[in-house]
Amino acid sequence: MPDFPHASRLRAGRSSQSGQIYLLTAVTQNRAPIFTNWRVGRLVVDQFRQALIDDRADSLAWVVMPDHFHWLVELRNATLPALMLATKSRSARAINAHLGRTGRLWQKGFHDRAIRREDDLLAVARYVIANPIRAGLVRRVHDYPLWDAKWL
* 84-117 tens-digit pLDDT: 999 999 999 999 999 999 999 999 999 999 998 7
Containing structural domain, residue 41: 21-149
Number of structural domains (the chain) is: 1
In a domain, 16, yes or no: no
In the chain, DSSP assigns E strands to: 21-27, 57-64, 68-75, 111-115, 147-149
Q: Which residues of 61-83 are buried (b: 16+ CB within 10 A; e: fewer)?
A: bbbbbbbbbbbbbbbeebebeeb
In a domain, 4, yes or no: no
- Is the pLDDT score of 29 beyond 80? yes
CA atoms within 13 A on the CB side of 94: 17
In a domain, 12, yes or no: no
In a domain, 30, yes or no: yes
Parallel, antiparallel or unpaired: strands 68-75 and 147-149: unpaired
The whole-number pLDDT of residue 11 equals 52
Name the strands in the sheet holding 111-115, side by side, starting at the edge strand that comes first in the sequence.
111-115, 21-27, 68-75, 57-64, 147-149
In a domain, 10, yes or no: no
In a domain, 11, yes or no: no
Interval 55-90: pLDDT, tens:
999 999 999 999 999 999 999 999 999 999 999 999
In a domain, 61, yes or no: yes
CATH code for the domain of 30: 3.30.70.1290
Q: Are 22 and 72 in contact (CB under 8 A)?
A: yes
In a domain, 5, yes or no: no
Q: How far apart are CA 18 and CA 123, in angstroms?
A: 22
